Amino acid sequence: MNWPARSPELNRIENLLGILARNFYRNGRQFGTVTELENVIRDEWAAIPPQQLIDLSHTMPRHIFQFIQNKGGSIDY
């Protein structure tokens, strides 16, 4: 399979980073220091339920199928 360069449709890490970013900044939260942000990043990363990672990985077959159907074009995700 030719793998398209920088294809966010097939990159589960993009989804995970979006989830983490929403958690970091929920309720308009801001950080006063780099250390404070680092601590929140560690806490939020540790709080990700394993099932959420499993669910993200289980979307891959459907996304690959849609991607092939669209001949490498964008897909709904």
Predicted TM-score of the model (pTM): 0.62
CA dist list (Å): 33 to 16, 21, 37, 63, 69:
24, 17, 7, 38, 46
Can you give the pLDDT at residue 47? 93
Pick from 16-20, 39-43, 44-48, 69-73: least confident: 69-73
